[in-house]
Structure formats: C-alpha cells, structure tokens
Amino acid sequence: MEVIHTSDWHLGRSLYGRRRHDEFEAFLDWLAAHIENEQVDVLLIAGDVFDTTAPSNRAQELYYSFLCRIAHSATCRQVVVIGGNHDSPSFLNAPKALLGALNVHVVGAMDADDEIVVCRNADGKPQAIVCAVPYLRDRDIRQAEAGESIDDKRAKLAQGYRAHYRHIGERAEAARGDLDIPIIGMGHCFAAGGTTLADDGVRDLNVGSLDHIEATAFPACFDYLALGHLHVPQKVAQSETMRYCGSPIPMGFGEANQQKLVLQIAFEGRMPQVAEIPVPCFQPLRRIAGGMEEILEALKQLKLERSNAWVEVEYTDADIAPDLREQVEAAIEGTHLEIRRIKNKRVMDRVLQRIDTAETLDDLAPTDVFARCLEEYEIPADQRPELTASYAEILQTLHEADQNNE
C-alpha cells in the first residue's frame, strides 16, 4: 500500500497582497500527477486546507477540482481530510456526504464516531485504519474552571489530548482485530520540540506553548503518524514514523530557501518505509539584506539571471535611506522581478515609534505588539510569562468565536 502525507496547503493565501492561485494550481496538478504515476492508494491531508475560515471562490474551485480529479483516478481509493486551526469546521464538513460518495472522508471538527476510517483495497478488503483526528480546540478537550492557573490549564490540555488519542487508538485496535494492517494516526497540533521559522506563516494554536503536545501522547499502536500545522518538514522525537511533512509551497520569505516535501509511505503489512518527495519550486522567493550597495548588487545579479523571483528587501545600514524604495524599484525596472516587501531595520528597531517609518501593523503579529507594550510600560520580567499566556487565551477565545460565527 502506498500513502501520501501532505498538509498545510493554505489555499487562498496571498503574499503581501500578491495572489498565489497559480502556485497552488501548479502544486495540485503536480500532486495529482504524482499520485497517478506512483499508483498511490491513500491520500492524507493533515489540516489547514484553506488559509482562512471563509475561502475565496477560486480557492474552493482549486480544492474541489483536485478532489474530483483524484476521485476519478484509477489508483487512489481513499482521501482523508482533517480540519486545521485555519479551517472552518462547518465549512469543511458542509459537503461531507457528497464527498463521501467520492471516497473523500472529511473530519472538520472533533467527532469520535467519525474519526475512524477503514481504507479498503480494490477487492473491498480492509487495507489500513486511519485515526483522523482534526485540530482539537480548547473547548473540545478542557473544561474551564474559575481561578485555575496557567499550569492547571496546561495540565488539563495535555490530559485532554492524551485521553482523546487514547480513546481513538483503542477503537482503531478493536477495528483492526487480528488483521495484519497498519493503523495510521493523523493530527493537527504543535508537537513539543517542533521547529518553526520566522515569517513561515504558522499561527500559534495557543500562544505561550499551552498546547504543545508531548510525543508520548500519541498511542503506540500508530504505525505511522501524519501531522500538520508546522511548515518545516521534520520528525517528532527523532522518530522516522512520526512526521510533519510541512507546507508544499513557502508561506513566507522565512521559507524562501527551504526544500518543500510531501511524504510517501510504503507499507508492507504494518511496516512503513518513508520517502521524502521533493516538491518543485513553482515561484521563487528571494530575501536580500544589507546596505544599499549590497542590495543593488544582489538585484543586479537577479536581473542578469533573468529571474522572476518575488523579493523581500531588508535595509540594515545605520545611515538613513529616504529614497530606499525608489532606488529598489528603479533597479528592477524592465525585469520580471517583483518587490513584495521592503523593510527598514533601522526604523523598525525603534520600538513603538511610528513617525516617519515604513512599519505597519502588517509587519507585526499580535504577540509582537503585546510584547512591545510590556516593554514600553516596564512590566517586571517575572510577571510577563503569565500576562502573555493570559493574552494568548484571549486571542484564542476570539479566534474560536470568529470560527463559530462562520
């Protein structure tokens, strides 16, 4: 049995105002062709299908067109999709019955009765059991109580994750019985020790590491664990069979030089063999940093290469460069290069100073703004962790309220 593990497509995402539909379409065409050429049996999509809870018509068209193509392929017999923290559970689940007729199983929100998926071969015999656990929201796994501390909340979240995965694992083992078939776990979460990059588009599930999940929370019965949320391909606890595949295209300039992957797992009985399949680069990104001379020289080199890259420029000299944008735009005139972002580090280092700067709120995450406020009002260092965690809980509550309104 051949399985593909992918996640974090973020269909509909833009990069500083530039739509990326062509990249997403190119990736999905490549993935569909790979599935057909490699005769893949099962496709796992581990959350964050869309970038927002209300995806555009174009993003939806890409998603459904891809699923229809896979459903009509001669090889792939089962697609399993779980919801991520960017996805609207109700939106993903809305066409559930229709997609089910195409052998596409969708689990948008926690539903223990729906999270066990039996994948069958061409003869209708069980081939694998998938534990399709979506992003688990705070309210799904923890009962809030007045007066509880941050440590209490963290302990309850950990307990809730363990309990849910243990229950699903036990049900999967019961469904497998004496069959020599693998159990494959899925999840969308932040495993403890996971790696992120600056500007990689990962949204904290609970800022302050409240819900970072230890590897021991996942049942030992999982022969392979397909995770989503982190955009850097990586192993969990150095395990070959507990993996993040990462996002298929760079979500920000922080991922500009990263080789993107999907993971292909070949099963012989219950034994998995994991292969990293490189995803082609459909739109190059380049990050240039330095003084004016270095920036202009780097742009000149890209021009000589006839590059069509999207470029982020960061000016780092101490001297003020009032015509920074004008010089950069003049340097790329007549090329296919696009300047998507210009950062003036000398200006940005002036904390909370907005007069005569190029900095906007788009440059800052909510947690960055809060950290600057703590610094500006000279809040004692020993008080900051709990205040940050409380602020994170407020952000999470607001985010979930927005999703409930969809």
- What distance in Å separates the CA atoms of residue 178 and residue 105, rounded to the nearest whole number? 25
pLDDT (0 to 100) of residue 360:
54
First-to-final CA distance of the chain: 38
Say which amino acid occupies 15.
L
pLDDT digits (tens, 9 = 90+) for 344-354: 766 555 444 54
Q: Report the C-alpha gap between 26 and 365 in whole angstroms.
A: 30
C-alpha gyration radius of the chain: 23
Query: What are the φ/ψ torsions at residue 6 (nearest 5 degrees)?
Result: -140, 165
pLDDT at 401: 63
Q: Is the pLDDT of residue 357 over 50?
A: no
| End-of-domain residue from the set 278, 298, 319 | 278
Rounded to 10 degrees, the C-alpha dihedral 235/239/241/244 comes to -10
Task: Please state the domain count of the chain.
Answer: 2
CA distance 208 to 213: 13
171 and 103 co-located in one domain: yes
Question: Between 202 and 10, where is the model more confident?
Answer: 10
The residue among 262, 278, 294 that closes a domain is 278
CATH code at position 302: 3.30.160.720
Q: 333: which DSSP letter? A: T
Per DSSP, the three-state class of 268 is strand
Summarised one tens digit per residue, pLDDT across range 219-257 is 999 999 999 999 999 999 999 999 999 999 999 998 888
Cβ neighbors of 93 (< 8 A, separation 6 or more) are 106, 107, 108, 109
Q: Which helix (H) or strand (E) segment is 162 a member of?
A: helix 150-176
| Predicted local confidence at residue 203, as pLDDT | 57
Residue pLDDT, tens place only, 141-189: 887 777 778 788 888 888 899 999 999 999 999 999 999 999 999 999 9
Both tokens of residue 260? Answer: 């993107």
Q: Are residues 105 and 205 in the same domain?
A: yes
- Considering the domain architecture, whether residues 146 and 28 belong to the same structural domain is answered as yes
Residues 180, 50 within the same domain: yes
Question: Which residues constitute the domain of residue 51?
Answer: 2-278
